[in-house]
Structures are given as structure tokens and as C-alpha cells.
Amino acid sequence: MGWSTGKRVAVATAIAGTLDIGMAAIDTASRGKPVAEMLAGIATGPFPGATDWGLTAAAATGLLVHYAIIAVMAAVFILIRDRVAFVRANTLACAAAYGVVLWLVMYGLVLHLRFGVPFPSPIAFNIAKQLFAHVVLVGLTIGAVAKKGG
């Protein structure tokens, strides 16, 4: 018997969310920027005044926002996989394609419209990092958990 939908979403969220935010933290620190400020920046997506709450509160909120977004991403894929035979039969290929869709939505819509982030990035290396994070760390991780647990 497989895992419940809730358990698969929770496990996928924990793993994919940690891998993704870990990569973001390493990338941020490697550029000499404070990780707490990066996390606070995430909080300003849904809470524009988050930086007025103090760095600790804003960073903690940003981390919660990040995991909430990943949970939605995981839930959508897992629910689709449970209901669509083609996705179930081709879980990892569909998960990789889902990662590309997540990248398009996050960078082409959310970050572009909310923060004016150029899309696509004019820097090829940035596109490669973004796709790696969304396809491998998020999409394929969610797909692997969905497949193993379901």
C-alpha cells in the first residue's frame, strides 16, 4: 500500500523545498549577500511590508512562504499523477516537464510581474541555474516522491 496523498505532499515539500532553498542560500552567500535578506525578500512577495517587521521575522516568514509555495507545487503534481494514467505511467518525464512549467510560471509570471525580474534572464548561466532548481531539485524530486510513495 502506498503513502497517503498528504504524506507524499509533506515528504515532497520537505525534500524539494530544502534542496531548492539550500541552492538559493548557497547562491546568495556565494555572491556575498546575506541569506536572511534573501529570505526576507521572499516574504515581500505576498507581504510587501515584510521588511519592516525586522530581519528575523521577515526571514522566517520568507522561509514559510517558500515551503508553502513548494507544498502547492507538490500537491498539484501529486493530485494530477493520482488521476491521470499517462502521468502515472511516465511520472519522471512528466515531473521534468512540470519543472519547466514551474520555471515558466515563477520567472515568466510571478517574479517578472511582482518584482520586474527580466524574463528570460539575459545571462545564460542564470537560466541554467533556474532550470536546474525547478526541473531537478523541485520537479524531479516531487516526481520521485510521488512515484515511490504512490
For the entire predicted model, the pTM comes to 0.96
Contacts of 121 (CB under 8 A, 6+ apart): 107, 127, 130
**Spatial separation of the C-alpha atoms in residues 22 and 145, rounded to whole Å:** 19
Say which DSSP state 110 is in.
I
Model pLDDT for residues 35-93, shown as the tens digit of each residue: 999 999 999 999 999 999 999 999 999 999 999 999 999 999 999 999 999 999 999 99
